Amino acid sequence: MAKKLWGGRFTKKTDPSVEEFSKSISYDYKLAKYDLLGSLSHVGILKKTGYLTSEEAKKLEEALDSIFFSINNKTFKFDRAVEDIHTDIQNKLQKKVGDLVLKLHTARSRNDQVVFATKLYCKVEIKELYAGIVETIAIISKAAKANEHIIIPGFTHMQHAQPVYLKDYLDAYAAMLGRDASRLNYISEHIVITMGAGALAGTPISAEDYALKASEYIKEQGIGSVFNIKPTTNSLDSVSDRDFVIEIISALSILAMHLSRLAEDLIIWSTKEFDFIEIDEAFCTGSSLMPQKKNADALELIRGHTGRLYGSLVSVLTMMKGLPLTYNRDMQLDKEPLFNSFEIVSMELKVLCGIIKTLKFNEENIKKHLEDESLYATDLVYYLVDLGVPFKNAHTFVGRLVKYSIDNNIAIKAMPEELLKKMLSSKISKKELIKRFSPEFSVESKKSIQRTGK
């Protein structure tokens, strides 16, 4: 039976089913580094406040440092038999320093410990993900710049709407990712790393001692400068608050939703019907039955994974909603959704970067799509408005013209001038009208701040 962090008041062994059911080591091992940083801070605090002698503190610090080192160089072997990572580290420490380890738990509870470690983990992960988002934005912007002359049909309701520059289409995604990056940054800045909540009621150690020592240790470990360790303001809230987890998964869900929309656009664009783009073979897969197939599976998985993120968000929200104060074991179930969400979106960004870097735009084919006259109907309306026709009337006249063109299978450009004058306005000239059937004319006629083709 694996060693536990508790047990004094128990006479019976834990039932193996409960033992197995309550374990979190298979996933919370990811918190190892951050748990150690918490312990190092705690040793400093215990030394400063006289709970540990300098000698004892030194011994513990050396042992913690060596475990930290083994994690960094990947020689740390997680003990899958124990309850959680906190227990695993405690047991390993015991092997190194003997019963001295028993003092490390002075004024400390796993309830406090796990929040400390999870918050640090989140800050580090957000920092890394932020860099990944910035890189993705740079790659999208590069593709936009490289193809800045290309005009494509723009869509609303998946129907041809008006011509837009491809670069604006791509930059729209860069704008979404920019918001994602700032959202995550904001969340990270507002995560306050606290110590001193104890199990729920605080500890006999003063707030100043926590704040000072903890940030000193975190800083020494080289990841600290950005982390502001504060004394806890409400111990009950500190051990039972998981808002930061929910905020992060929610921000990651929004990010995943953006990536999913981009994936969907690319999937559609890569179909034979559209044929706007060529996705590099390295990012596609084939079919076991149909030899001709080149499927954009990676993009489909980006789209599909979004559902898993939403599921994670709903699972943590639901897990929290009925919990009385303070800590409850249910909260252990925030880890997998949180860790998975980070893993999924960072993988997605990596895959998307590769796809966009190698993406080819089929300019000639895009041009063929731009021949559709309906894309210029709005420009005809503006032409009539410029000639003094009220907008609503102009809209109706052009609408009738489009219908006439469809019903009689005749292109607007091929209609006699007399007919056009009759249907639109006597003031029009066919020459001027025909000018409007140009993608360049259409995009260049836009003048507002958000216009395409700035």
Q: Active-site positions?
A: 157, 287
* Nearest distance, CB of residue 21 and ligand ARG, angstroms: 12
Q: How far is 121 from 55, CA to CA, in rounded Å?
A: 30
AA identity, residue 265: D
AA identity, residue 278: E
* Nearest distance, CB of residue 150 and ligand ARG, angstroms: 51
- Judged by beta carbon, residue 169 or residue 342, the one nearer ligand ARG is 342
- Judged by beta carbon, residue 27 or residue 382, the one nearer ligand ARG is 27
Q: How far is 285 from 324, CA to CA, in rounded Å?
A: 49
DSSP strand E in 210-317: where? 229-231, 277-278
Q: How far is 427 from 417, CA to CA, in rounded Å?
A: 11
- Judged by beta carbon, residue 244 or residue 327, the one nearer ligand ARG is 327
- Judged by beta carbon, residue 32 or residue 356, the one nearer ligand ARG is 32
A 10 A CB-CB count for 404 gives 14
3-state SS assignment for residue 438: coil
Please report, as ranges, the residues that interact with ligand ARG according to CB under 6 A.
24, 28, 84, 110-111, 114, 327, 329, 331-332
Chain centroid to Cα 103, Å, comes to: 40
Region of 50 (left: φ > 0; alpha: ψ -120 to 50; beta: rest) is left
3-state SS assignment for residue 172: helix
* Nearest distance, CB of residue 196 and ligand ARG, angstroms: 17
Burial of 441 (0-12, 13-18, 19+ CB in 10 A): middle
- Judged by beta carbon, residue 38 or residue 153, the one nearer ligand ARG is 38
* Nearest distance, CB of residue 84 and ligand ARG, angstroms: 4
AA identity, residue 345: V
Instruction: Identify any residues that bridge with 413 across adjacent strands, giving them in sequence order.
Output: none
- Judged by beta carbon, residue 22 or residue 396, the one nearer ligand ARG is 22
* Nearest distance, CB of residue 327 and ligand ARG, angstroms: 6
Contact 215, 229 (CB under 8 A): yes
Contact 135, 174 (CB under 8 A): no
Contact 317, 246 (CB under 8 A): yes
Region of 409 (left: φ > 0; alpha: ψ -120 to 50; beta: rest) is left
3-state SS assignment for residue 131: helix
- Judged by beta carbon, residue 120 or residue 166, the one nearer ligand ARG is 120
Peptide bond before 452: cis, by omega within 30 degrees of 0?
Answer: no
